[in-house]
A and B are shown apart, each in its own frame.
Chain A
Amino acid sequence: MFATAIIVFREVLEAALLIGIIAAATRSVTGRNRWLIAGLVAGLLGSALVAASTNAIAAMANGIGQELFNALVLGVAVLMLAWHNIWMSSHGKAMAAEASKVGREIRDGKQERSILLVVVGLAVLREGSETVLFLYGISASEGSGASAILMGGLIGVLGGIAIGYAVYKGLLRIPLRWFFATTGLLVLLLAAGMASQAAHYLIQADLLTYLTTPLWDTSHVLPIGSVPGMLLHSLIGYDPRPAGMQLVFYVFTLMVIATGMKFADRSGK
């Protein structure tokens, strides 16, 4: 039961952190909760679908379908987060100033909502499909009873959600003056981390063949299996043995989005 809880927790954590941050970042978007839940449901349904078609996806593209699929999902999520952040930079200040007048933002909120839906859906999809496969695997193999698996899975899910919620609540306590700058920075780092992960999958698929040697090895100082390692991996894309190309993707994404934010901020004034 305990092993089940830990694995499920690990999978859920990543999605929960992202949802916590995104939910905070879109606090002034009207109807946010409905779109968030819609994304969650879509992601869960998608998870089951992806899990059920693991074989078909894996067999695609000469056996590297799974890596391509993951890289594609991550890539779309990066684009969405980039758009979100750049859009926020041009509207964030006005929204911060009038955060109490929530109803006003219906027009501006429209684009934000579809982003919310897609980002949340993709995050759940990626982590959810692995959880489904894992739970299916251990329930199919003998050993632990169904109730133990269910309990373990539940504990893992709740643990992950609790941390995501804590992050959300913590972010909301930040004074409005710094709020959008903080969530903007968090989303920026999330996106860069995802880009690095996408590069990782493309290297694994042998599609990226340059700069594949690890740049450094901090796996003894801060192993990725440890709690701080996991958190940093989810939040800023920490990787104890990053390939050079991962760093290139990371820095490139960081710079492109930051530049976009700067321009949007300027033109928004």
Chain B
Amino acid sequence: MSLIKLVSSVRKTYISIALIAMSGLVASAAMAADEEYKLVIKDHRFQPAELVVPAGKKIKLSVENLDATPEEFESHDLNREKVIAGKSTAKIFVGPLVPGRYRFYGEFNEKTAQGVIVVQ
């Protein structure tokens, strides 16, 4: 088998696995009632800059970027990174977390876009 053929068949399998996974996700996401918390980005700042969430639970962060420019939600503490286009909302799953303070920031505007998630 030529490489191209192999690659394309491997790729096909990969994509179909991804599709199956996706459809499974749509179903499970509809069922799972993860707690949702909202963050807003405005003028390159997070609002609220401090968010309190319960420990030991998976939570869904919904981050709405009201600015026209893209931002990257980044947190080494939470091990998360996601680009959020201008004027759009992204969701990010985090946790379950142990109590503590988890810093996050906007990588594209690090000077102003700072925040922390307090897990209690």
A: which residues have CB within 8 A of B?
Answer: 3, 7, 54-55, 58-59, 61-64, 66-68, 71-72, 75-76, 79-80, 83, 110-111, 114-115, 118, 130, 133-134, 136-138, 140-141, 200, 203-207, 213-214, 219, 223-225, 239-241, 243
Contact = CB atoms under 8 A, between A and B. Distances in A.
Contact of A130 (B15, B58, B69, B72): B72
Interface string B36-74: 000000001000000000000010000000011111100
Interface residues of B, number: 46
A134 to B, nearest CB: 5
A111 B92 contact: no
A13 to B, nearest CB: 15
Interface string B81-107: 111111010111100100000000001
Interface of B: 2-4, 6-7, 10-11, 14-15, 18, 21-22, 25-26, 29, 32, 34, 44, 58, 67-72, 76-77, 79-86, 88, 90-93, 96, 107-111
Contacts of B81: 204
Interface majority SS (helix, strand, loop, mixed), chain A: helix
Given A58-B88, A76-B11, A68 B22 contact: yes
Contacts of B7: 79-80, 83, 114, 118
B3 A54 contact: no
Given A72-B14, A223-B76, A54 B22 contact: no
A61 B3 contact: no
Nearest to A67: B82
B72 A134 contact: yes
Given A136-B69, A239-B79, A61 B22 contact: yes
Contact of A137 (B10, B70, B79): B70
Contacts of A63: 90-91
A47 B110 CA distance: 23
Contact of B108 (A59, A67, A134, A219): A134
